[in-house]
Amino acid sequence: MSEPRRIAYQGEPGSNSHMVCQRHYPALESVPCASFEDVFAAVDAASGEQSASLAMIPIDNSLAGRVADIHHFLPDSNLHIIAEHFLRIRFHLLGLPGAHLDDIRTVHSHVHALGQCRNIIREHGFTPIVSGDTAGAAREILEAGDLTQAAISPPLAASIYGLDVLATDIEDADHNTTRFVVLSPDFIQAPVDAGNVVTSFIFNVRNLPSALYKALGGFATNGVNMTKLESYMVDGEFIATQFLAEVDGHPDQPGLKRALEELAFFTTDVKLLGVYPADPARL
């Protein structure tokens, strides 16, 4: 793998994804993309449009659950998970320079951010306006030039767009956390002795009675802790189900190795998505 120089993320400058890129990969140029599909295309050399070496993708949120669309892209992509990072989500209320909290009448942000900051909206009687992106909402406020409009955005957006912080940490829940994964076209596995490791994989079960029960039995009998199991329909068929699973451990460790071998007996396909160090926040 050549030395990475750029990392792609979905959203506008100042978004939470941008913050994670800057925090963990400060030496890399962060590349904003309009959609998740654009992010995958930016990193996947097979797409012919590769413009970044790595991608930073949100995959789970402690309040909203799994991030929509990601499970559609991961199985068929040529990308692999090489790291994970957890980010405590913080939102600030941003206004134009010179604006005051009492001036604000409308607040703009992504629909999920508005839903996660209901208390301040209710307390001040703000009218919520849905924007496509939390950082994009800050840009829209700057462009509108209206002292009565404010944005609910990550802290980084304030400095990027030159806005004043009218209120800090306005999210309703202080445990709001998003898990991000780093994707690479190269399958870089953590060493077997790297400490706490996560293995992510997908599989399809055979259309047989108790197939899932039998497929997962090997993890229980071999003492492997499964931390995620999510199902998805394949090609719109109700009888064809694909599963995304994550377990603690390395595939070269005896217990997990035996469990994966047993899994293969009851599935039509098993594909490793990544073997990577566990983020300390997971533990």
Structure tokens at 282: 């997971």
- Per the rule left: phi > 0, alpha: psi between -120 and 50, beta: everything else, 11 is left
Average pLDDT rounded to a whole number, residues 203-219: 85
Per the model's pLDDT, the better-predicted residue between 125 and 211 turns out to be: 125
* pLDDT over 90 (residue 279): yes
What pLDDT score was predicted for residue 282?
A: 83
The H or E element containing residue 264 is helix 254-265
What pLDDT score was predicted for residue 249?
A: 96
What pLDDT score was predicted for residue 48?
A: 61
* pLDDT over 80 (residue 263): yes
Query: What angle, 0 to 180 degrees and rounded to 10, lies between the N-to-C axes of helices 254-265 and 211-221?
Result: 170
Active-site residue flag, 127 = no
What pLDDT score was predicted for residue 61?
A: 86
Selecting among 40, 134, 178, 267, the annotated active-site residue is 178
Selecting among 40, 91, 126, 180, the annotated active-site residue is 180
What would the pLDDT profile of 83-102 be if each residue is shown by its tens digit? Answer: 999 999 999 999 999 999 99
76 Cβ contact partners less than 8 Å away, ≥ 6 residues apart: none
Q: In terms of C-beta distances under 8 Å and separation of at least 24 residues, what long-range contacts does 230-237 make, across chains too?
A: 230/66, 230/71, 232/71, 232/72, 234/204
> What pTM was estimated for this model as a whole?
0.89
264 Cβ contact partners less than 8 Å away, ≥ 6 residues apart: 270
Active-site residue flag, 203 = no
* pLDDT over 80 (residue 226): yes
SS3 category, 267: strand
